Amino acid sequence: MTKTDHIFIVGLGRTGSTLTRTILNTSTEIGIGGESHFFRDLPRFGFQRQRSMQRKLRKIGDISTEAGVDKLVNYLYSPKKNHLTFWNFQKRSTSPEEFRQMLLESGRTERDLFELAMAVHAEGKPIRGEKTPAHIFCVPELLEWFPNAKVIHTFRDPRAIFSSREKKAARKKLPAFNTLIRKSGLLFDLLSSLHVILNWSRVSHLNKLYQTSFPDNFYLLKYEDLICEPRSTLQELCRFLGIDFNEDMMQQSVVNSSFVQKGEVVQGFDTTSIDRWREQIHPVLHRWFLFWCKNGLSQHGYSL
C-alpha cells in the first residue's frame, strides 16, 4: 500500500472541517495547514466564482524569475494582515531566506509553491496538507498534483449547516443594508438558504462521483458520526489514512462553534449540535429544505 503523503480536508463550511484538522494534527505524523483557497472560492447560488490565491500569487511575482521569487517571498512574510492566514508566513519557523532558497531550488511551478507552503505549516511532520472547504470542487486537480494524497470530505445535514451559518452571521456586525434585509425574516431565510441547498446538492453529487473515481483516495466523514461516535469513527478514519489512532484525538473541545460564546470552552464532542437546528429554523423553512433536499437527506441517512 502506498503511504499517504498529503491530506486535504474539503466540504462545505460549518461541517466540522476545523475540528477534523485539529484532531488529525494531534498526530506526530500530520501537520495540516489552514485554508489556502489556492484554487478557488466557494460558489454562491450555484455559480462558480474563480477568485483564488493562485491568481493573486501569479500577479505578485513570476516565480520563474529570481525577481518574481523575491516579490513573492516579501509578500508571504509581510507583517500586513492583508491576506489569508495560510499565506502569511511571518510567524512560521521557516525564515524568508530559507523559503526563498527552497523555492529557487524547486521546479518553480505552482505545484511546487503550494507544496512548499504546506511544508512550512507542517513544520517537519512527514504528512502535510491543508483544509479549504471550496476545494471539494477541485479534488481531481488535487489528486493529479498529489496522487498519494487522501481527501477527507466533511459532510453534515444541510439544515444544521444553515442554522450554524445564520447564528454566526447574527453575531457579526453587518452593514446597515444587510441588517435591514435580514429583518425581512422568513423571506430572507428562504432566499439565503438557497446558497446552502444548491451547494449541498452539488457536493452530495460530487461525493458519489469521487467515491467511484477515487475509491482509495476519497473519504466521506459525516459530522454526526464524528460527534456521536468519535472513537470508532476516528479509528476508521485513521485506518483509511494509514496512521495510528492515539488517545489525544479524543481530548477535544468545541472548535469554532457558532453557538458558543467567545472565550467559552466546551470540553468533549458536543452532541447537542446534532439536532439543535430543529429549534432554530422555522417550520416553513424546514419544509423548504425537504422540498429541495429530501432525496439527498434520505440517501445519507438523515431524518426527515
Encode the chain in three state secondary structure: CCCCCEEEEECCCCCCHHHHHHHHCCCCCEEEECCCCCCCCCCECCECCCCCHHHHHHHHCCCCCHHHHHHHHHHHCCCCCCCCHHHCCCCCCCCHHHHHHHHHHCCCCHHHHHHHHHHHHHCCCCEEEEECHHHHHHHHHHHHHCCCCEEEEEECCHHHHHHHHHHHHHCCCCCHHHHHHHCCCHHHHHHHHHHHHHHHHHHHHHHHHHHHHCCCCEEEEEHHHHHHCHHHHHHHHHHHHCCCCCHHHHCCECCCCCCCCCCCCCECCCHHHCCCHHHHCCHHHHHHHHHHHHHHHHHCCCCC
On average, the pLDDT of the chain sits at 89
* pLDDT for residue 127: 98
Q: Which runs of consecutive H residues, i.e. helices, occur in 132-260?
A: 139-145, 158-170, 176-182, 186-213, 223-228, 230-241
Q: Take residue 117 and report the three cell numbers written for it.
A: 507552503
CA 22 to chain CA centroid, Å, is: 12
Most confident by average pLDDT, 23-32, 56-65, 87-96: 23-32
* pLDDT for residue 62: 95
* pLDDT tier, 264 (very low <50, low <70, confident <90, very high otherwise): low
User: Given the C-alpha cell 432566499, which residue does it identify?
Assistant: 191
* pLDDT for residue 45: 47
* Phi, psi angle pair for 163, to nearest 5°: -60, -45
Considering only 107-111, 219-223, 237-241, 254-258, which range has the smallest mean pLDDT? 254-258
> Is the pLDDT reported for residue 139 higher than 90?
yes
DSSP 289: H
Taking phi over 0 as left and psi of -120 to 50 as alpha, with beta for the rest, 185 belongs to left
* pLDDT tier, 260 (very low <50, low <70, confident <90, very high otherwise): low
Average pLDDT over every residue of 270-278: 92
Most confident by average pLDDT, 88-92, 103-107, 186-190, 269-273: 103-107
* pLDDT tier, 192 (very low <50, low <70, confident <90, very high otherwise): confident
Q: Take residue 290 and report the three cell numbers written for it.
A: 425537504
> Is the pLDDT reported for residue 167 higher than 90?
no
Which pTM was predicted? 0.92
* pLDDT tier, 1 (very low <50, low <70, confident <90, very high otherwise): low
* pLDDT for residue 46: 47
More reliable by pLDDT, 186 or 220: 220
Element of type H or E holding 113: helix 110-122
More reliable by pLDDT, 80 or 249: 249
Which residues, at least 6 apart from 61, have a Cβ–Cβ distance to it below 8 Å?
67, 68, 69, 70, 71, 72, 75
More reliable by pLDDT, 2 or 291: 291
- What are the chain's domains? 6-51+98-299 (3.40.50.300)
* pLDDT tier, 267 (very low <50, low <70, confident <90, very high otherwise): confident
Considering only 24-33, 71-80, 117-126, 184-193, which range has the smallest mean pLDDT? 184-193
Average pLDDT over every residue of 100-125: 96
